[in-house]
Amino acid sequence: MNLFTIAWKSVKQRALASSLTALSVALGVMLMSSVLVLHGIIKRTFSQDTFGYDLIVGPKGSDLQLVLSSVYRIQPPIENLHYKYYLQLKANKKIEVAVPIALGDNSQKGNFPIVGTTGDYFTNDYAYGKSFLIRGEALKKPLDTIIGSAVARKNGWDIGSQFQITHGGQEEDVHDEKFTVVGILKKTGTPNDKTIFILLQDLLEMEGHEQPVEEGLDKWLKVIGKSKDDFTAEELNAFRHDPDIAKEVTSVFVKFKRRIRSADASGVDNSQAQASQLAFQFQQKLKEGHVANAVNPVIVMDRLLKNIVGNIQLVLMILISLIIVVAGLSIFVSIYNSMTDRRKEIAIMRALGARRTTVFSIILSESILLCVGGGFAGFLLGHLVVLVASPFVESASGLLIDPFAFEMEELYLIPAMVLLASLVGFIPGLTAYRTDVAKALGD
């Protein structure tokens, strides 16, 4: 019979006390595991891997608001860009791709965000090195739509399904147009999974989506740095009759041209560095103007994660660590208090030939069984909490939660539990080690 078998029998003899002490450890580990998994999910969601462009160009305002609305679609856009400004970006010789994004509406069923864009959105990578896979067809004709995998799953839609959308997400304001699903995106693990895509022109031509002509004219004159006094009446009327003068987009995803060449004799590809340099120069130029703003979403979200989410996680981890330490102390108290009742048992073991180190090891094994057993149960409970909570978190925050996510940091919990068990079991084990056999049997 090995030491752990003897220790397990001792634990079962004090089943109620052992269960309660192991439960306290399990609850602490459950909380820590849940925090680690959720933080990992948030970090991956807001990482560079979820965006395949160099910059987002949007109206002047908050960088964070622009990223949250355009990329993650969990915040409404505050202002828009003039459509003709998007055409300027598209014509820029340094820009390889300029993809427009128009937001504001939601699906009547499921309240999923509607994104008006062009076919270029799907021919470019949604993340660096990751291409869209579509079951069905691309956006070709009016009222075609491509939906994300989460939309298809939650709404029960398939190719051929029809639906309507609400203006500005208002349930009572439903557009007359009926859209038809022609394609379904394979799962990407990005906000694209919970998005419905339609042609930009379809969105712009719907009732209530065009701004007043005069307002569009004023915004365009601001873009080109002119006033109405700089033009004749005929020229202003020509502007007013421009079919694009009253159109707007929320933002534009921009990727700069990459010239493939070696930086030196070693053959190192510096094309990405070239694109990054162009992006930086473009950002600085826009900062000097008053029309638009360009942001790198990776930098914006990294700042958010470090300054806010990271600090919150640190505080939670400290509090949960204290909870686990208190749970460890409860194991110490439980085992130490049992030593008085077990003195005769230990003395008999010694009288039958058990060594002092053997008795010490049995007590230490009990502590390890309680800590590691409670820790393993807490690990399972933590992932069960994530599994159960994931649909509610997705609904409340708009974030995509993988219910089966696992973080490598969780592996550190195992040696941490063994170390804690060794610390809390040392003094009770030492007490057993020093037990006076003759006195214990005499009593």
Query: pLDDT-derived band of residue 267, with 50, 70 and 90 as boundaries?
Result: low
Which position has the token pair 């070239």?
274
pLDDT at residue 231 is higher than 70 = yes
Q: Report the mean per-residue pLDDT for the chain.
A: 82
pLDDT at residue 440 is higher than 60 = no
Q: What's the confidence (pLDDT) of residue 203? A: 92
Query: What percentage of residues in the chain have a pLDDT greater than 90?
Result: 28
Asked whether the beta carbons of 175 and 167 are under 8 A apart, the reply is: yes
Q: What's the confidence (pLDDT) of residue 103? A: 93
Q: What's the confidence (pLDDT) of residue 262? A: 47
More confident site: 435 or 94: 94
Q: What's the confidence (pLDDT) of residue 40? A: 79
Query: pLDDT-derived band of residue 322, with 50, 70 and 90 as boundaries?
Result: confident
For residues 363, 368, 370, 373, the Cα torsion angle rounded to the nearest 10 degrees is -150
More confident site: 343 or 311: 311
Q: What is the mean pLDDT of residues 59-71?
A: 89
Q: What's the confidence (pLDDT) of residue 144? A: 95
pLDDT tens, residue by residue, 142-192: 999 999 999 999 999 999 999 999 987 677 788 889 999 999 999 887 889
Q: What is the mean pLDDT of residues 110-122?
A: 93
Q: Tokens for 390, please give them.
A: 């994931």
Q: Which residues pair with 95 in a beta bridge?
A: 256
Among the residue ranges 74-78, 263-267, 426-430, the one predicted with the least confidence is 263-267
Q: What's the confidence (pLDDT) of residue 95? A: 92
Distance (Å, rounded) from C-alpha 257 to C-alpha 247? 27
Query: pLDDT-derived band of residue 200, with 50, 70 and 90 as boundaries?
Result: very high
pTM over 0.75: no
Q: What is the mean pLDDT of residues 26-48?
A: 78
More confident site: 294 or 308: 294
Phi, psi of 405, deg, nearest 5? -65, 150
> Phi/psi zone of residue 208: left (φ > 0), alpha (ψ -120 to 50 degrees), beta?
left
More confident site: 307 or 1: 307
Residues 24-45: b if buried by 16+ CB within 10 A, e if exposed? bbbbbbbbbbbbbbbbbbbbeb
Q: What's the confidence (pLDDT) of residue 338? A: 67
Q: What's the confidence (pLDDT) of residue 400? A: 65
Distance (Å, rounded) from C-alpha 43 to C-alpha 34? 14
pLDDT at residue 256 is higher than 50 = yes
**What percent of the residues of the chain are helix, what percent strand, and what percent coil, each to the nearest 5?**
55, 15, 30
Q: Which residue blocks in 243-308 are alpha helix, DSSP H?
A: 271-288, 297-304
pLDDT at residue 112 is higher than 70 = yes
Residue extents of the structural domains in the chain? 3-45+303-442, 50-296
pLDDT at residue 14 is higher than 90 = no
Residue 380: count of CB within 10 angstroms of its CB = 14
